[in-house]
Amino acid sequence: MKKRSSGILMHISSLEGKFGIGSIGEEAYKFVDFLVKAGQKYWQILPLGHTSYGDSPYQCFSAFAGNPHFIDLDILVDDGLLSIEDYINEDFGASEEKVDYGLIFEKRNKILKTAYKNFKNKNLNRHESFEYERFKNENSFWLDDYSDYMAIKETFDLVSWKEWDEDIRNREEKALRKYRKELKDEIEYYKFIQFLFVKQWKELKDYANYNGIEIIGDLPIYVAEDSADMWSNPKMFKVDENNNPKVVAGCPPDAFAITGQLWGNPIYDWEAMDKDNYKWWISRIRESFKLYDMIRIDHFRGFESYWEIPYGDETAVNGKWVKGPGIKLFNAIKKELGDLNIIAEDLGFMTDEVIEFRDETGFPGMKVLQFGFGGEDSTDLPHNYVKNSIAYTGTHDNETIMGWVNTMATKEEKEKALAYLNVKNLDDSYDFIREIWGSVSFLAIATMQDLLNLGSEARMNIPSVLGGNWQWRIKKDQLTDELAKKLKDLTKLYGRI
């Protein structure tokens, strides 16, 4: 039986600090310390991937590579790869509460290339040289394609591989040899920054684990069209003779989006994946558990059936439901990797078949309290929860609790929330946190924004809206001892310590 516990959802980008975006440095370690003081067990984050245009952690250049934005610059000084003068006078953005991704990309890329130059000129000792070469060898199955992709992408002004010259777009052997020779140093740079990312991340994870904190990672079901995965292995997806996607992913029309959601991700050719016993997926899950203690698989229902939209459509209206691999995929993963700590993101339109599939895997599903006040007797209300579930105040796609109360909730929803929570006013998201902490779900998670009682200004993402998302950052000095004690007392009260 899983022990009752709780945790906080906050992405690395949302940490405070001096580099314009949260990093795997001092502030990340301080957040671990805060979680310990607050009696928490879990730190949940969003995907750590190398983000592409739009800055969404769910649209990345690789299913395996880490985000260079999160590499901590002060640690590189300690490692002898930078001097403080290399970045002390750089402008990383006017606001300490919002990430300016365009500026961050420009500044950090320049600084990391300085670190790479210093690395090449550094006399590495035997251990340092062995560590770097071992990293490259152990990760070559994804690192080589990713590094090729990013270096070539730079020569084509960062456009998608679909706009490259035909020979390299189609990975003709002569073209590959040419670019690998011409871009040898640039390719090595991308291997180097992945080495830095993994080294810093694993040190942070070790620190968290040593202090009793486990990290919940997030695994997007799909990869981006503009990715090394699709360029290097297009036959893994449903493509035509020119390797263009035939269909893309999304969600059908509903009350929240009348034309549905058009995500645009290529869809896997599950029949082809079945023929090699889902080798790519097994590798992806295996690598994920090197980075995290537990993973949430996004859009889990897509493994049972998914919404398939004709490529080129401007909305999701003309899509259709298509059967996915179902339990066969997860049986293959379990046979290879054993029992795993996986959370099934089972939000959205759920059929009996999807529920049966989730239950067959044994993975816990998600319950989001914010969704609970709109129907007669919602399964998102705590009296309907089951032990094998994760209770949330909201997710990265939701309004904050206070934002929902003030801008989205109907009069009827507010009245139901008042009665259900047994409060006189809906002015404190802590009342919602108390409700899920007291539920039977073995794990309860609150967003950092809800713990701080913040409004719409702190919302992380508005689905299907490009721009203005993923920017929120915590303010300096908001992680107080008083806040930690308040949360620890609640956690102890409901038996989650």
Catalytic (active site) residue 173: no
Candidates 226, 345, 380, 435; catalytic one: 345
Tokens for 427? 């002015």
What pairs with residue 444 in β-bridges? Answer: 6, 391
The label of the residue with tokens 């795997």 reads: 24
- Phi, psi of 342, deg, nearest 5: -125, 135
CB 53 within 8 A of CB 137: no
Read off the amino acid at residue 101: Y
* Cα within 13 Å of Cα(262), Cβ side: 15
Buried b (16+ CB within 10 A) or exposed e, 200-222: bbeebbeebeeeebbbbbbbbbb
Read off the amino acid at residue 52: S
CB 327 within 8 A of CB 357: yes
Catalytic (active site) residue 229: no
CA 424: distance to chain centroid? 37
What pairs with residue 310 in β-bridges? Answer: 247
CA pair distance 396, 234, nearest whole angstrom: 30
Candidates 27, 298, 346, 450; catalytic one: 298
Read off the amino acid at residue 393: T
Residue 213's closest CA among 221, 225, 204? 204
CA angle 297, 473, 61 (to 5 degrees): 45
Candidates 154, 188, 269, 397; catalytic one: 397
CA pair distance 308, 270, nearest whole angstrom: 13
Catalytic (active site) residue 345: yes
Read off the amino acid at residue 197: F
What number of other Cβ atoms are within 10 A of residue 374's Cβ?
Answer: 14
Helices (H) and strands (E) counted in the chain, each on its own, are 18, 12
Given its phi and psi angles, is residue 329 left (phi above 0), alpha (psi -120 to 50 degrees) or beta?
alpha
- Please name the residues in contact with 183: beta carbons below 8 A apart, sequence gap of 6 or more: 148, 151, 152, 155
- Please name the residues in contact with 274: beta carbons below 8 A apart, sequence gap of 6 or more: 325, 328
Q: Please identify every residue annotated as catalytic.
A: 298, 345, 397
